[in-house]
Every structure is written in structure tokens, then in C-alpha cells.
Chain A
Amino acid sequence: MIFFDNVSKIYNSHSVALRDVTLRIEPKEFVSIVGTSGAGKTTLLRLLLREEEPTSGRILLDGFDITDVRRRDLHRIRRRIGTVFQDYKLLPMKTAYENVAFAMEVAGRAPEEIAEDVPQAIQLVGLTGKENNFPHQLSGGEKQRIAIARALINRPDVLLADEPSGNLDPVNTAEIVKLLLKVNGLGTTVLLATHDSKVINDLGRRVITFDAGRIVSDEEHGTYMPDVGEEKI
């Protein structure tokens, strides 16, 4: 269970990213986080990963307050959470294969396990044949898919996906969404942050809408209708 208890995040006086957010997500839920650019979606995910600390409030992960975790124990939280970052965050000096394998090495998995799982994950995201490319030798969409493979490889309890289809064409987007649903079906809680109203509306799952750092709606079978103004952006 994930519980944001009255959480605010103020980067500085000009950017208040989250205001008094209270939010409860049950295990195995599939939740979409939507909102205009700058609404605070990425910030919410970064707080859950303790990439940032909240200015006030508590964040509980299975009853544990993650803001209490000491810095040198942070890897314990992070190994339970797989993340697809909005800016991918691939390691530039490692190949596609090594980037995915790194997440397993970090978790102390056996070499045989790595040799078996990594090619499977790469096949799952449709990048077989590009294993030995470095990130700068991959297209935006391909980088995104490697980031997804890395996020899934350790079968995390929670998957955070920040615009995982941002650089993908409709066909690939549909594939990724199918993949996320499949992972969710296997028991992983999924938090998906996106602008893509088509993705949200096809899903028919819980949708939480943010605006200027506040939750403005939280619907069990939600839709997302950005105003006409934003659609043009």
C-alpha cells in the first residue's frame, strides 16, 4: 500500500510542486496520474523513490515511512520499485544489455539468472538485435523501451512509469500499455504519469488528475479531457 499523508513539496518560493496531497493506492492497483505540464506528476513519483524529500507530510510504503529511511538504506526501497524515468536515465557508458543487467547486478542476482532474464526482457520490449548498442546509438523510443525493460527486470512490487510512451508512435504505445497491464496482472502496483488522453481513456482504470500541485479529481474509472488550450501544446 502507498499512502501520501498531507504531502507538500516546495522546491522554492517560485515553484510549489505539490500542495497538501493525500492519496492512497492499494496493492495491485493500476493508477494513472494526469495533469498539465508542471502539475507535479514527476515530483510525486520522485518523492516515492526518495529522489526528493517532501517539505512536509509523510509517505508510507507498506506502513513504513520512507522519509525516515537513512540515506545508506535507500537502496532497500528502490529495489522494490521499478522506475521508467521521463528522461530515461540510462547509463551512457553501458550498452543496452548492460543497462538492463545492471539493475539485476545491483540487486545481487546470480549471473545465470541475469543471462537468462535480460535477453527475455529485451525481447519483450522488442529490441532484440540492439543489445550491444550504447544509448547514444538508440532512438528516443528505443531508449524508452530499454528503460522499461530495466524497470521490469527485477519484478518490482511497484512500477513507476513517467511518460513511458512519450516518444513512441501509436502502435508502440499500445504495445507498452499492454505490457503495463500485463505486469499489473502479475501483481505489480503501477503508477503511470502521462499527458496522453487516448491512453487514459482506453484504459478505463483509476485516474487521478493534478492541477498546480493539487488533486482536482480522483475517479475509479476515469477519463482525461485536457482543455482545448492544452491540447494544442
Chain B
Amino acid sequence: MALTTLKRVLSAGYVSFRRNAWLSLATIMVMALALFVIGNLIFLGAFANTVLAQLESRIDVSIYFQPNASERDIFSVKHDLESHADVADVAYTSRDAALAAFRDRHKDNQLITGALAELGDNPLEASINVKAKDSSRFAAISSFLEQKNYSIVDKINFSENERVVERLGSILTAVRASGAVLALVLAVIAMLVAFNTLRLVIYTMREEIGIMRLVGGTGWFIRGPFLVSGALYGFFAALVTTVIFFPLTWYASPKLAFLVPEFNLFSYFLLHLVEFSLIMFTFGITLGILSSFIAVRRYLHV
């Protein structure tokens, strides 16, 4: 009995989806558009995160040591920093490594290589490069270094950048917050458009809903097929959107890579294909079912 009812509801939903082919197609397109907006927001978020992370990783503090400081002392400073909670990464550059890098950078410039050869001695200092977990933590690291006041430290290339670093940090925080709000607003608008389209579809069927009630249909028996159609709209909308993103990300990938070389859109899409399509299908099907549910409700009051 319950199984028969379920079968009837499923088949009625499918039949109505098929018979109203044009209406279904139009609804799927609008829903796909909504999902497309949401999909783009996901990519935009990933892109923005990469850009912001790149910017953040470029903010760092360099600590230069006296030329006569021993490596043992430098390593103890490095160790102190590594165990600091706000520090993400610490990189040590010895005097020799600094010189080699300097030589390499200027190998075409005969004036500089000549000057270095004449000098004979290595004029460069050993350094430690510190990256913070995020840009807002530099203040803590700065006060930590001030408080320790290491004698072997020659200079900290920080105080000059401090204000830039701090400002960039607050800008990044603001960008993240407003981006999230904007994305949320856009996603809500997209969903409202899809919801209203479904409401319109069901509005055209309001008389049928009334008739079904008058010949003795229960709420669920009548509502069921609409939920099935709604789920089908959502399913196909998600399918269309996911498929469309293959050529689209492939095409846009090199253009974005031109702006930010670290971000490869196409491989990001492929890498997250499962999560991405899961989001699309969950969103689409839930939206379809929920919108139908809400829209049918008012016409059932017969």
C-alpha cells in the first residue's frame, strides 16, 4: 500500500516533468543559472584566497646578524622563534648562501662581480626570515623580539615595514569579511530567483492542485509529485552547471594564471570536482524540493 503510493507519487512526478517539457527546460535553465552564480562564487573565493595568501606570504620579517655571530647562537634564536605560537615558518640564510645568491643575481653585472672580487671578504650578513601565521600576528612577534633583545642581532628589517604590514593585514581582513558577505548576498539572490521561478510554475498548476483535493487527495499525495519534479529540476540544473564548468574553467584558467601564476583554475576544479558537484547537487535538489514544498502549500488549502 505504502509502496504503491510511493510508486504512484514518483511516476506522477516524472510524468508531469516530462509532459511539461518546455516548462521543465525553462525552470532547469533558471536554476542552472542560480547554481552557476554559486559555482562562480566558490571559484572566486578560492581565487581570492590564493591571492590573499600570496600577499600574506610576501609579508615577512628579516633579522640580520652581526658578521661575527656564531651559527650556534643564531640557531638558538631560530629555535626560539620556531617555538613561538604566531610563527608559521622560519628560514635561515647563512653568510655563504647569501653571497652565493647575491652573486647569482648579479652574475651579468661585471661592475658588481668585480667589486666583490676586489673586496675579497664576504660583506653580507647571515639572516633569518620569519613568516607569521597570518598578517595580524606580526605585532606579537615584534614585541617578542624587542623583549628578548638579542645581542647578536644587527638589525631587524621590520620596523620600517611595520606600518605597511599592519595596514595590509587589516585590509586583508576587511576584504575577506566583505567578500564573504557579498558572496552570501549574491547566493541568496540567485536562490530567490530560482525559488520564484518554481513558484510561478506551481502557480500555473494551482487549479489542478485544488481539483486533486476535491476528488479526495491527501496533502502528501498531491504534494509528492511536485517535490519529485522539483528534485528533478534541481538534479538536471546541477548536472548542466557542473558540465558547463569543464570547458569554462579550462578556458579561463590560462587567463587567470596570467594574473596570479600560483592559481590554476582548471586543476583546482578537477581537484575539487567531487566536493564541487556535491555542493551543486545538494544545493540544486534541496532548492527544488524546498521551493516546491513552500509553493504548493498555499494551494492545498482547498
Contact = CB atoms under 8 A, between A and B. Distances in A.
B232 to A, nearest CB: 15
B289 to A, nearest CB: 20
B216 A78 contact: yes
Contact of A103 (B20, B215, B218, B302): B215
Given A71-B301, A91-B208, A92-B208, A108 B4 contact: yes
Interface residues of A, number: 25
A83 B221 contact: no
Interface in A56-107: 71-72, 74-75, 78-79, 83, 85, 89-93, 102-103, 105-107
Contacts of B8: 105
Contacts of A228: none
A72 B216 contact: no
A110 interface: yes
**Quick one: which of B212, B216, B217 has the most chain A CB within 10 A?**
B216
Contact of A89 (B5, B16, B20, B214): B214
Contacts of A72: 218-219
Contacts of B205: 93
A210 to B, nearest CB: 22
Interface in B203-234: 205, 208, 211-219, 221
A75 B216 contact: yes
A90 B19 CA distance: 16
B271 interface: no
A202 interface: no
Contacts of A102: 212, 215
Contacts of A51: 214, 302
Contacts of A92: 208
B215 A78 contact: yes
A216 B216 CA distance: 33
B211 A91 contact: yes
Nearest to B221: A106
B1 interface: yes
A103 B219 CA distance: 14
B208 A106 contact: no
A106 B212 contact: yes
Given A51-B302, A93-B16, A107 B216 contact: yes
A140 interface: no
Interface in B17-50: 19-20
B50 to A, nearest CB: 50
Contact of A106 (B16, B19, B215, B302): B215
B213 A83 contact: no
Given A51-B302, A93-B208, A106-B221, A74 B4 contact: no
A111 interface: yes
Interface in B276-302: 301-302
B1 A89 contact: no
Contacts of B208: 91-93
Contacts of B1: 108
Interface of A: 49, 51, 71-72, 74-75, 78-79, 83, 85, 89-93, 102-103, 105-108, 110-111, 150, 154
**4 closest residue pairs by CB, A with B:** A79-B216, A78-B216, A106-B217, A89-B211
